[in-house]
Amino acid sequence: MKKAVKNAAKNAPTKAGKKAAPRVARKAATKADNTASAEIVPSAQHDWFIQSLVNIATVAPLSFGVTLQVSGLLVSGYLVSGKAYFEAIGEQIVGGFAQNAALADEMRKMFATFESAYPSDPSQTDRPVPQFIHLQNARFYSTDGKPVPSDEGVWWRGRISEISGVVVGILDVSQ
């Protein structure tokens, strides 16, 4: 049985604007007589455009508004780098350990290792393909525009493969 070859550019549009054929993986299936046969199953799809937006936020010191459709909800916030996300989350968590300086220092070190997973050097060519997206001041809305559960923004991290739609811009339901 052959392993599927990973190629991040497979889902990007071609020069003619057509989408490349989806990647497939071979899966072994066992017949009643215990002989193996190959079955073609589609591989996970990742949106190359969203991955490009994440790369921009990672390399450039900027953030911008996006609204994502995820599992029937709308998530709207400011796209930031993974490094900025872990810096902020780390500070929030470390702030809870004010009475225990040693534990706070250990937590700070742990979050520093998370931050290092997101290099921001634009000349670095071996940067991994983004799998997660990070939002600051994220708000959640049902499809009718009502905030879920409130209109308070939070830090949010989500899997790119779970996003079914994206709008560049913040959802504004104030009226």
* Per-residue model confidence (pLDDT) at position 123: 72
| Cα(121)–Cα(83) distance, integer angstroms | 12
Residue 38 has pLDDT above 80, yes or no: no
Domain count, the chain: 3
Q: Let me know whether 131 and 152 are in one domain.
A: yes
Q: Let me know whether 133 and 166 are in one domain.
A: yes
Q: Let me know whether 74 and 89 are in one domain.
A: no
Helix (H) or strand (E) run with residue 90 in it: helix 82-95
Q: Let me know whether 99 and 163 are in one domain.
A: no
Q: Let me know whether 102 and 35 are in one domain.
A: no
Contact 44, 50 (CB under 8 A): no
Q: What is the per-residue pLDDT across 78-127, written as a single tens digit (0 to 9) for each?
A: 999 998 998 898 888 888 777 888 888 888 888 777 766 776 676 777 77
Q: Let me know whether 96 and 76 are in one domain.
A: no
Q: What is the per-residue pLDDT across 138-152, written as a single tens digit (0 to 9) for each?
A: 999 988 878 887 767
Q: Let me know whether 140 and 76 are in one domain.
A: yes
Report the candidate in 60, 71, 115 with the shortest Cα–Cα distance to residue 90: 115
Partner residues linked to 38 by β-bridges: 28
Q: How many residues does the chain have?
A: 175
Contact 51, 10 (CB under 8 A): no
| Cα(129)–Cα(53) distance, integer angstroms | 12
Tokens representing 59?
Answer: 């390399």
Q: Which domain holds residue 152?
A: 46-81+126-175
Q: Let me know whether 28 and 63 are in one domain.
A: no
Residue 3 lies in a domain: no
Q: Let me know whether 110 and 36 are in one domain.
A: no
| Cα(127)–Cα(55) distance, integer angstroms | 9
